[in-house]
């Protein structure tokens, strides 16, 4: 198996994966909540989150990896270790989730395809389209007819006035206003 390319600091990524052989990743609402809890624990320290969507057998994340100085400060590590930290954190995150699902379902072995997919965004103009794509994924896969009927995406966090770990102001900025953000998703 080839070694994974290290995720670059201060870059945007579309990160996605699915269950091996199309297997489900989420079996209950508690599984979705636990995935997000682990995400916050492992990924928030190394990345800003712009969008996410969890579907029964796959997920999509849109993140911007934090800067070297942010990662060094959070983990109290030197710059050499900072460059490797995002890839390590994603690995820890996915492994923790798989272990929990394996224990829950009395199964063993891989749950996620390896390596996890990632696309580096070379151009921020693609950011807006990717946010729309991620949020509309449940419609594309016929889970729901309307985006507002699907609870497992960042859409509601972005339009909510409540505090959230999502970079809602930066996301709204891509659409100019909250109203344009909402209209663009219709």
What is the reported pLDDT for 97? 97
In 3D space, the residue among 100, 72, 101 whose CA is nearest the CA of residue 86 turns out to be 72
Residue 35 burial (10 A CB sphere; 0-12, 13-18, 19+): buried
Q: Find the mean pLDDT for residues 3-16.
A: 83
Greater confidence (122 vs 160) lies with 160
Tell whether the torsion through CA atoms of 81, 87, 90 and 91 is positive or negative. negative
Q: Three-state DSSP class for 169?
A: helix
> Is residue 5 assigned to a domain?
no
Structural domain span for residue 44 = 12-184
Q: Find the mean pLDDT for residues 141-153.
A: 94
Please name the residue that has the structure tokens 């029964």: 56
Q: Two tokens at 85?
A: 């930290």
CB–CB of 167/62 below 8 Å? no
Strand partners, 49: 63, 166
Proportion of the chain above pLDDT 90, given as a percent: 85
For residue 83, the Cα-to-chain-centroid distance in whole angstroms is: 19
What is the reported pLDDT for 88? 93
Total tally of structural domains belonging to the chain: 1
Q: Using 50, 70 and 90 to split pLDDT, how confident is the model at 5?
A: low
What is the reported pLDDT for 6? 66
| Domain harbouring 84, CATH code | 3.30.70.1290
Whether the per-residue pLDDT at 172 is higher than 60: the answer is: yes
> Is residue 86 assigned to a domain?
yes
> Is residue 6 assigned to a domain?
no
Whether the per-residue pLDDT at 2 is higher than 70: the answer is: no
> Is residue 177 assigned to a domain?
yes
Q: What is the DSSP letter of 153?
A: B
Q: What are the tens digits of pLDDT across the range 89-120? A: 999 999 999 999 999 999 998 999 888 899 99
> Is residue 4 assigned to a domain?
no
What is the reported pLDDT for 1? 39
What is 16-47 written as a DSSP string?
EEEBGGG--S-SSHHHHHHHHHHHHHHTTTTE
> pTM higher than 0.85 for the full model?
yes
CB atoms within 10 A of CB 104: 13
């Amino acid at each position: 198996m080839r070694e994974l390319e290290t995720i670059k600091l201060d870059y945007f990524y579309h990160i996605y994966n699915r269950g091996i052989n199309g297997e489900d990743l989420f079996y209950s609402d508690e599984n979705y909540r636990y995935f997000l809890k682990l995400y916050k624990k492992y990924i928030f320290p190394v990345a800003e989150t712009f969008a996410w969507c969890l579907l029964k057998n796959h997920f999509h994340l849109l993140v911007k990896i934090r800067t070297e100085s942010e990662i060094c400060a959070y983990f109290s590590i030197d710059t050499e270790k900072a460059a490797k930290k995002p890839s390590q954190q994603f690995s820890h995150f996915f492994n923790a989730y798989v272990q929990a699902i394996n224990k829950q379902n009395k199964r063993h072995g891989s749950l996620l395809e390896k390596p996890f997919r990632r696309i580096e965004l070379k151009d921020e103009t693609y950011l807006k389209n990717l946010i729309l794509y991620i949020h509309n994924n449940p419609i594309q896969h016929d889970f729901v007819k309307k985006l507002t009927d699907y609870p497992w995406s960042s859409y509601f966090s972005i339009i909510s006035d409540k505090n959230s770990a999502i970079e809602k102001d930066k996301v709204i900025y891509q659409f100019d206003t909250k109203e344009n953000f909402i209209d663009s998703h219709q």
